[in-house]
Amino acid sequence: MEDFHQLAVTLFDSLKSYVSEFNSIWFLVQVAVMALAGIFGTLAATVLRRRIDLVTLTMGWPIFLRLLTRQILDNVGTLIFVAVVVVIHSAMLSLTWPSRSYFLGVASSLATAWVVIAVLAGLIRNRFVHRMVALSAWTIAALSILGLLQPTMEALDSVAVVLGGLRITPLLVIKTSVLLLVTLWAANAVGDFFDRRIRGYSDLTPSIQVLIGKLMRLLLICFAILIVLSTVGIDLSALAFFSGAVGVGLGFGLQKIVSNLVSGIILLADKSIKPGDVISVGDQFGWVTNMGARYTSVDTRDGREILIPNEDFVTQQVVNWSYSNYKMMLKATFGVSYDSNPHHVQKVAVAAAKSVPRVINDPAPVCYFEEFGDSSLNFSLRYWIADPANGIINVRAPVMLALWDAFNAEGIEIPFPVRDVRITQKATNAATTAPPPSTAGKPSGDPER
């Protein structure tokens, strides 16, 4: 608490000295100079942005230089403000007392720190990380420029809670949070870079590419966390208290998450399922689009994307239509009348299937005469496609239409059941000789009365 008292005294003394400066005519002069510099910087920046075509200027440049140039152009007004204030501040230092241009020096330092931080943080594409880094860096820079950084750090470090030998202070929490945010973002950025490079190697199968990318990303994240803990001065042996709690949590609440993570690694290692495979799990049918650490994304081509836990692929029966190859057999059943020649029907059906563009010739379509039905000769047409990921129903429908057109052209009739209803003479006579209904127990006369 003494550090907080010391910080309050420092703030009060600084504020008192600033108030005394507010009563001076030189304070108004400095405010006027800063206002004019701000207006001049805004107008100059507007003119420059209208005259500079950034897209044409940076055409063909590397993406890093394009982002850097865009950030500089976005902050060109502040840069002009800093330049004007620095020139006037230098002139006033050579002509009068330093105290009469103190606020100009503080304003130029704060604006310079703002520009540098904005340009560098602008290279971060994640908006949340960009804002957090910019805010944290500029807060530290402002406190340092005003001479309040060291008292603030001492005050934040004076309050502590000890857990299992680990001393936790507000300063430690802030430093750890900011460093974790930055290092985790950097680890993900490096992981994305290596992932893109790995996917460029055609010699590696898709499952091996995903496995290497996931393992490399996991190692980078663990390495980033260890670096942060070592940087802030946390002894890893002091975390033994928390390791027991994490173990209990894994045993009770996180076992499904761990199971899905391990199952995902197993799937990527044994290559039983890989991105692009056409699979069916239970009633769900589609092709694998993405394999994550916890789930696998399956696209069903009807606007839905099903997220199936990795554990289900290990514990349940999974049909992989493209495990060894992408060829897939489809079947169409139909019946024709007994007046048709079965040999001719088979030839017409095979020719109709071959006329559909997505039906392949190796293996060739075949038509089997299966049975004599009640009112039709029943056949089954079996054909193959090589691109099941492009859909199934959009092949079955053209094949059925091709069969319909071919049968109409060849005069082959598709029968439909006919039912005959016969009324015998015996049933008619029985209906006419049946006795009338009994009227016993009914009152005589008009029933309406």
- Identify whether residues 7 and 150 lie together within a single domain: yes
Confidence check: pLDDT of 53 > 90: no
- Identify whether residues 66 and 96 lie together within a single domain: yes
Q: What is the pLDDT of residue 127?
A: 75
Q: What is the pLDDT of residue 176?
A: 82
**Of the residues 226, 253, 280, which one is the last residue of a structural domain?**
253
Confidence check: pLDDT of 445 > 50: no
For residue 424, is it within any domain? Answer: no
**Of the residues 112, 131, 158, which one is the last residue of a structural domain?**
158
Q: Among 184, 180, 159, which residue's Cα sits nearest to residue 171?
A: 159
DSSP 8-state symbol, 98: G
Distance CA 131, CA 141 (A): 15
CB 377 within 8 A of CB 345: yes
Q: What is the pLDDT of residue 435?
A: 59
pLDDT band per the 50, 70, 90 thresholds, residue 164: low
- Identify whether residues 24 and 137 lie together within a single domain: yes
- Identify whether residues 110 and 247 lie together within a single domain: no
CB burial string 195-226: b at 16+ within 10 A, e below: beebeeeeeeebbbbbbbbbebbeebeeebbe
Q: What is the pLDDT of residue 249?
A: 60
Mean pLDDT across 231-242: 64
Confidence check: pLDDT of 162 > 50: yes
For residue 259, is it within any domain? Answer: no
Mean pLDDT across 62-82: 83
Q: What is the pLDDT of residue 317?
A: 80
Q: Among 50-64, 343-357, 409-423, 431-445, which is the least confidently predicted range? A: 431-445
How far out from the chain centre does Cα 143 lie?
38
For residue 261, is it within any domain? Answer: no
Whole-model pTM?
A: 0.47
For residue 249, is it within any domain? Answer: yes
Give the DSSP per-residue string, 132-178.
HHHHHHHHHHHHHHTT-HHHHHHHHHH--EEETTEEE-HHHHHHHHH
For residue 77, is it within any domain? Answer: yes
For residue 290, is it within any domain? Answer: yes
| 13-17, 134-138, 316-320, 373-377: range with highest mean pLDDT | 373-377
**Exposed, middle or buried, 62 (CB in 10 Å: 0-12/13-18/19+)?**
exposed
- Identify whether residues 30 and 121 lie together within a single domain: yes
- Identify whether residues 131 and 149 lie together within a single domain: yes
| 192-201, 270-279, 339-348: range with highest mean pLDDT | 339-348
**Number of residues that make up the chain:** 449
- Identify whether residues 30 and 86 lie together within a single domain: yes
- Identify whether residues 17 and 128 lie together within a single domain: yes
Better pLDDT: 403 or 188: 403
Look at the chain and report how many structural domains it folds into: 4
Percent of the chain whose pLDDT exceeds 70: 82
- Identify whether residues 352 and 220 lie together within a single domain: no
Q: What is the pLDDT of residue 378?
A: 93
CATH number, residue 350 = 3.30.70.100
Please compute Rg for the chain using Cα positions: 41
Mean pLDDT across 260-264: 78
Confidence check: pLDDT of 138 > 90: no
Q: What is the pLDDT of residue 23?
A: 62
Confidence check: pLDDT of 262 > 50: yes
Better pLDDT: 164 or 425: 425
Confidence check: pLDDT of 224 > 70: yes
Q: What is the chain's mean pLDDT, rounded?
A: 78
Confidence check: pLDDT of 345 > 80: yes
Q: What is the pLDDT of residue 436?
A: 59
Confidence check: pLDDT of 232 > 80: no
- Identify whether residues 143 and 14 lie together within a single domain: yes
For residue 437, is it within any domain? Answer: no
The tokens for 95 are: 């002509």
- Identify whether residues 310 and 335 lie together within a single domain: no
Cα angle: 312, vertex 313, 314; to 5 degrees: 90
Confidence check: pLDDT of 394 > 80: yes
Confidence check: pLDDT of 202 > 90: no
pLDDT tens-place string over residues 60-70:
777 778 878 88
- Identify whether residues 380 and 400 lie together within a single domain: yes
Q: Among 5-19, 95-109, 278-292, which is the least confidently predicted range? A: 5-19
CATH number, residue 312 = 2.30.30.60
Q: Among 72-81, 228-237, 273-282, which is the least confidently predicted range? A: 228-237
| 167-176, 244-253, 326-335, 337-346: range with highest mean pLDDT | 337-346
For residue 391, is it within any domain? Answer: yes
**What residues make up the domain containing 117?**
2-158
Q: Among 37-51, 229-243, 250-264, 409-423, which is the least confidently predicted range? A: 229-243
Mean pLDDT across 108-122: 83
pLDDT band per the 50, 70, 90 thresholds, residue 369: very high
CB 355 within 8 A of CB 402: yes
pLDDT band per the 50, 70, 90 thresholds, residue 333: very high
Q: What is the pLDDT of residue 449?
A: 37
